C-alpha cells in the first residue's frame, strides 16, 4: 500500500509521517521534521475562506542538489501545466513563506489571473 504524505492545514502538519500527531508550523518540532532524512514531502491545503472549503493542494517536496545538500520546492498543476516555485532550505519554510507561495500558486476562479501577478518575498 502506498504511503500517504502528511498534510498542512490551518497551520498544523498531520498524517502518517508524523505518527498521527499534530506538529505546529514554525515550532522546533516542525524544523526537526523538515530536516529528518525520511521526510521528503507534504501537501499544503489551499483554503478558500470566503467559500468555506479547500480549493486544492500544493505539493512541497525535498529535492537533492547535484553538489549535495537539499532544498524544498512547491508544485501545483493548473490544467496541463505544472508550476514550480523554489522555497529554499528547511530553515526558510516558515508559515509566512508557505502562505505567500500558496497564494501565488493558488489560481482562483479568475482564468485571467497570472502567476506573475503575485510577488513572493526573497529569502532572508
Q: What is the pLDDT of residues 31-83, one digit of tens each?
A: 999 999 888 999 998 877 777 788 888 999 999 888 778 999 999 988 888 99
Residue 39 located in a structural domain: yes
- The residues near 86 (Cβ < 8 Å, ≥ 6 apart) are 71, 73
Residue 98 located in a structural domain: yes
Residue 50 located in a structural domain: yes
What pTM does this model have? 0.77
Residue 38 located in a structural domain: yes
State the total domains in the chain.
Answer: 1
Residue 93 located in a structural domain: yes
Show contacts of 76-80: CB within 8 Å, 24+ apart.
76/105, 76/106, 76/107, 78/107
Residue 46 located in a structural domain: yes
Q: Which one-letter DSSP state was computed for residue 26?
A: T
Range of the domain at 105: 6-117
- The residues near 110 (Cβ < 8 Å, ≥ 6 apart) are none
Phi-psi region at 57: left, alpha or beta (left = phi > 0; alpha = psi -120 to 50)? beta
Phi, psi values for residue 43, rounded to 5°: -105, 150
Q: Give me 63's grid cell.
A: 529535492
Report the pLDDT value the prediction gives residue 30, as an integer from 0 to 100. 93
Residue 62 located in a structural domain: yes
Amino acid at each position: 500500500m502506498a504511503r500517504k504524505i502528511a498534510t498542512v492545514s490551518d497551520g498544523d502538519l498531520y498524517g502518517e509521517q508524523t505518527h498521527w500527531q499534530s506538529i505546529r508550523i514554525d515550532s522546533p518540532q516542525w524544523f526537526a521534521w523538515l530536516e529528518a532524512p525520511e521526510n521528503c514531502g507534504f501537501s499544503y491545503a489551499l483554503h478558500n475562506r470566503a467559500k468555506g472549503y479547500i480549493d486544492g493542494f500544493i505539493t512541497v517536496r525535498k529535492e537533492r542538489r547535484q553538489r549535495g545538500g537539499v532544498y524544498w520546492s512547491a508544485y501545483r498543476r493548473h490544467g496541463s501545466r505544472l508550476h514550480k516555485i523554489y522555497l529554499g532550505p528547511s530553515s526558510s519554510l516558515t508559515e509566512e513563506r508557505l502562505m505567500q507561495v500558496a497564494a501565488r500558486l493558488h489560481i482562483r476562479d479568475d482564468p485571467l489571473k497570472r502567476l506573475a501577478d503575485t510577488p513572493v518575498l526573497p529569502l532572508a
